[in-house]
C-alpha cells in the first residue's frame, strides 16, 4: 500500500523529532523483543519522556502505563502508534482530543482516515515510518549499520547522541 509522501516528509519528521519532549506510545509492549519495546527503550535512552499507553499493564519499562490517551495527566507531544490499522482512527480522535502535536503511525499502521482526522485537528502526521529509525537517520547512528540515511552534507556535525 502506497503512503502519501506528505506523511513521510523529511522536514516534518525532523521538526517533530527536535521539538518533542513527551512521547505516548500506544500499544507499548513489555516484551523486550517487540518493536514497540525497541522504540520505547530507544526514545527513553535519547532523552524523551516515554508514556506507555496499554490497558493491560500498570507499568512498562518502569513507567506508569495508562489505559488510554485521555487518562494521561500532562501534555503529550507525539502519539506513537503500534496498533493494527483498524484501531488508528480511534487513536487519532483521542490524539486530537488531548491536543497532541503529532500523530506518528509506525510501520504497517496505514490509515488515511486516521491521518485526515489528525491533520484536520491541527496535528503533524507521519505514517508507515519508525520513530527510532528516523531519529537514528538524522541525529543518531543509523549510518553505522550501513543503512541509507539519504543525508548528504559537507558540514561537520556536532557530537552525535
Partner 1 sequence: MQNPDEKPLRSFGFHTRSVHAGARPEPNTGARAVPIFQTTSYVFEDPESAAAYFNLQEYGNTYSRIMNPTVAAFEERVGNLEGAIGAVAFASGLAAQSAAFFTLLNPGDHVVASAALYGGTVTQLKHLFRKMSVGLTFVDPDAPENWKAALTDETKLLFAETIGNPGGNVLDIEPVAAIAHGHDIPLVVDNTFATPYLCRPIDWGADIVVHSATKFLGGHGTSIGGVVADSGEFDWSNGRFPVIADPSPAYHGLAFHQTFGGYGYLMKLRAETLRDLGGAMSPFNAFLFMQGVETLPLRMERHVANAVTLAEWLRDRSEVTAVRYPGLDDSPYSSLTKKYLPKGAGAVFCFDLAAGRQAGQEFIRAVELFSHLANVGDAKSLIIHPASTTHRQLDEEELAAAGIGPGTIRLSVGIEDVDDLIWDLEEAFARIA
Interface residues with partner 1 (CB under 8 A) are 9-11, 14-15, 18, 32-35, 38, 41-42, 45-47, 107-108, 130, 133, 136, 138-161
Considering beta carbons, is residue 72 or 109 the nearer one to partner 1? 109
Q: Taking the complex as a whole, how short is the minimal distance between the CB of residue 13 and partner 1, in angstroms?
A: 10
CB of 77 to partner 1, least distance (A): 14
Which of 68/149 has CB closer to partner 1?
Answer: 149
Query: SS3 for 49?
Result: strand
Among all chains, which residue has been given the C-alpha cell 500523530? 103
Give the span between the Cα atoms of 144 and 147, in whole angstroms.
7
Minimum CB distance to partner 1 smaller for 36 or for 94:
36
Residues 6+ apart with CB under 8 A from 47: 161
Q: How far apart are CA 72 and CA 66, in angstroms?
A: 6
Amino acid at each position: 500500500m502506497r503512503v502519501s509522501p506528505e506523511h513521510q516528509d523529511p522536514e516534518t519528521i525532523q521538526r517533530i523529532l527536535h521539538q518533542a519532549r513527551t512521547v505516548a506510545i500506544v500499544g507499548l509492549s513489555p516484551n523486550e523483543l517487540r518493536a514497540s519495546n525497541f522504540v520505547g527503550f530507544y526514545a527513553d535512552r535519547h532523552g524523551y519522556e516515554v508514556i506507555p499507553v496499554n490497558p493491560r499493564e500498570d507499568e512498562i519499562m518502569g513507567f506508569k502505563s495508562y489505559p488510554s490517551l485521555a487518562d494521561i495527566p500532562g501534555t503529550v507531544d507525539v502519539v506513537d502508534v503500534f496498533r493494527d490499522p483498524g484501531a488508528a482512527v480511534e487513536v487519532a480522535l483521542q490524539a486530537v482530543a488531548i491536543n497532541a502535536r503529532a500523530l506518528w503511525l509506525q510501520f504497517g499502521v496505514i490509515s488515511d482516515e486516521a491521518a485526515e482526522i489528525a491533520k484536520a485537528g491541527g496535528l503533524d502526521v507521519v505514517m508507515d515510518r519508525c520513530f527510532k529509525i528516523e531519529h537514528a537517520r538524522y541525529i543518531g547512528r543509523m549510518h553505522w549499520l550501513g543503512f541509507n540515511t539519504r543525508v548528504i552534507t559537507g558540514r561537520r556535525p556536532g557530537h552525535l547522541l
